[in-house]
Amino acid sequence: MPSSDPVKLTLYVAGQTPKSLAAIENLEAICRTHLAGRYSIEVIDLRKSPQLAREHNIVAIPTLVRELPIPIRKIIGDLSDSQKVLVHLAVGTE
C-alpha cells in the first residue's frame, strides 16, 4: 500500500476506564510515529451512544476499527503492542 493512503480509524471505548484511556494513548502514539499526516481518529464512547455497539458490530471494548483503506479491519484490546497493531491493521508503514 502506498504510504500516502489515508487511514481512517475509529476507536470504541466505554467511558474513562484505565483500559480505554490506555487504548486512546497507545493509538495516538502509534499514529504519530508511523502514520504522521495521513490518519484520522474518531473515538466513540459506547456509554454515551450504546446503540452504536449493535449497529457497528462491536462485541468487546476497546475495539479499534480501520475504516479506510478498505477492507475494514478490527483489533480488540488496549493496543499496547504497537507492532501487533500495525501488522493486524495492515496500515503500511513504509
Q: What is the pLDDT of residues 18-36, one digit of tens each?
A: 999 999 999 999 999 999 8
Domains of the chain: 7-89 (3.40.30.10)
CB-CB contact of 13 with 62 (8 Å): yes
Query: Three-state DSSP class for 74?
Result: strand
CB-CB contact of 26 with 79 (8 Å): yes
Mean pLDDT of the 52-73 span: 93
Positive/negative CA dihedral, 9, 65, 43, 51: positive
Mean pLDDT of the 41-69 span: 94
Which pLDDT score is estimated for 23?
96
